Amino acid sequence: MYQSLRIFLKPTTSLARKQFFQNNSILNKIRQQTQSNQNVQLLKSSMNPWERMNQIMNQQIKQLQELQNSPLTNSSTWKSYNQYYNRSNWDKLKKPLLFTVAFCVGTTFATPYLFDYTPMSIFKQYPQSIVWTIIGINALVFFSWRVPQLQKFTMQYGILFKDNIQSPWTLLGSAFSHQSFAHFAINMLCFQSFAVTLVAVLGVSNFTILYLNSAVISSFASIAIPMLLGSSLSVASLGASGAIFSVFGCFSYLFPASPVGLFFIPVPGGAWVLFLGTVIWNAAGTVLRWGTFDYAAHLGGSLVGIAYGYYFNKKRKEQIKRRRLILDF
């Protein structure tokens, strides 16, 4: 999941924080230079929102670098502001958490019914068609970014502004959204490589539950993990990588010795070795904040994939034991 930085200080909302800024001329000046609400309005009104967002991001990154070199960042005043800011972030985590739990529970129980008792049952006859359906949805959202009349929709539901979540459904929508063709093509190629085999093993219902739940959980992880590490939430992310890492993780757990390649170069040890390498890479990137990838989302999706692979494998072994007992009798 590619992550585009959009760095700025969060504007104050509570009376205490407003008074805090009013009593400090330096912080008040910083607030005036970083009006996030104005930036969001510019993004929504622009005919090419992605280019406009990049322009805003570059300006704000420069401002942040100036702040980091300032003695203000080590002052007690700055620490007091951060306490207010972090408290506000924790409050914002409640709604995404409730949505994530409700969505995963609802998906887990509703999906089997949809594939058994609705016209969607046709997917059970052609399991691989669900893979191409997911790719088709991602393609549809990709092309929607290029339609001016739909940019309001894609900006609201297709990109996850972590410090300003307009709708909790963005946690799902951003996982089906790609703005650049390279991002879309690479993600879908990786997804198809593992999903075709995995859906044949898990079945359509289990595969769909895994994909949808991991998409939302990875988006939630991209908010929660940086918050736990004290990183800035003034960023935005989109892409299917979190869910794809979940598919890769589940595949690697079930078929650890399966031969895989990295850019067509065979990886010694098979799928499990490559997957563990990506987990280490994503964990390090989350802590060290490398580049512009949403490592937290990757890591969250990977953990979901391992957990689901473990659950499915355990359930399969129990079914085998039952069959043996029946045969013995």
Please give the full DSSP string across 256-293, using - where no structure is assigned. TT---EETTEEPTT-HHHHHHHHHHHHHHHHHHT-TTB
Greatest CA span in the chain, whole angstroms?
A: 83
Catalytic-labelled residue, pool 234, 241, 246, 252: 241
Check if 241 is active-site.
yes
Q: How confident is the model at residue 328 (pLDDT cuts 50, 70, 90)?
A: low
Phi, psi of 216 (to 5 degrees): -70, -45
For residue 8, the SS3 value is: coil
| Average pLDDT of the segment spanning 5-30 | 39
Nearest 5°: CA angle at 290, between 284 and 291? 145
Check residue 160 and report its DSSP letter.
E
- Give the CATH number of domain 93-327: 1.20.1540.10
Please give the pLDDT value at position 290. 80
Check if 214 is active-site.
no
Helix (H) or strand (E) run with residue 235 in it: strand 235-237
Check residue 2 and report its DSSP letter.
B
Domain range list for the chain: 9-90, 93-327
The answer to whether 255 and 275 are in contact (CB under 8 A) is no
Q: Which strand ranges, in their side-by-side order, compose the sheet holding 160-161?
A: 3-5, 235-237, 160-161
Q: Is this model's pTM higher than 0.95 or not? A: no
Please give the pLDDT value at position 226. 86
Catalytic-labelled residue, pool 237, 252, 298, 302: 298
- Say how far apart CA 138 and CA 181 lie, in whole Å: 11
Q: How confident is the model at residue 187 (pLDDT cuts 50, 70, 90)?
A: very high
Extract long-range pairs of 15-18: CB within 8 Å, 24+ residues apart. Answer: 16/84, 17/81, 17/84
Question: And the tokens for 111?
Answer: 């999906």
Candidate ranges 37-46, 49-58, 79-88, 111-120; pick with highest mean pLDDT: 111-120
Q: How confident is the model at residue 320 (pLDDT cuts 50, 70, 90)?
A: confident
The answer to whether 44 and 155 are in contact (CB under 8 A) is yes
Q: b/e map of 226-238 (b: 16 or more CB within 10 Å)?
A: bbeeeebbbbbbb
Residues forming beta bridges with residue 261, ordered by sequence position: 266
- pLDDT over 70, % of the chain: 71
Extract long-range pairs of 264-270: CB within 8 Å, 24+ residues apart. Answer: none
What amino acid is encoded at 299 in this protein?
A: L
